[in-house]
Amino acid sequence: MSGCYADEVLERIDKYSKIYEVLGLEKEEYGERAKKSLKELSDILRDGSYTRAGLKLLDWLGIDKREVTPDVLIKAIMIVKYAVSVTNRLQLLKWRGKVEKG
């Protein structure tokens, strides 16, 4: 292993099928972290401003504010807009009864 976590994960991708195994975590620890992360992401997506949510997303991902450029922020905004759009479409389909709730 190279010592770089990202490189270690890349080496494990073909060896394991479960995300928690690829990440080198126990199933329970992954579950707890994933649940917490999903809640945090949900809060970001509900901000009401794509630009502010994009900045929050970058901060949440650990990007230093000094490293934020217009291109980086635009990418973050596009991620937020896409995630909100997909979520809204799914909610509409659930409301119409075309997708199972849950």
Among the listed residues 66, 63, 87, 45, the one whose alpha carbon sits nearest the alpha carbon of residue 37: 45
Q: Are 53 and 47 in contact (CB under 8 A)?
A: yes
| pLDDT for residue 1 | 44
3-state helix, strand, coil in the chain (%, to 5): 70, 0, 30
Residue 38 has pLDDT above 70, yes or no: yes
Which tens digits make up the pLDDT trace of 54-100? Answer: 999 999 999 999 999 999 999 999 999 999 999 999 988 888 887 67
How far apart CA 91 and CA 61 sit, in angstroms, is: 26
Helix or strand run (H / E) with residue 31: helix 27-45
What pLDDT does 54 receive? 98
Q: According to the model, what pLDDT value does residue 2 have?
A: 53
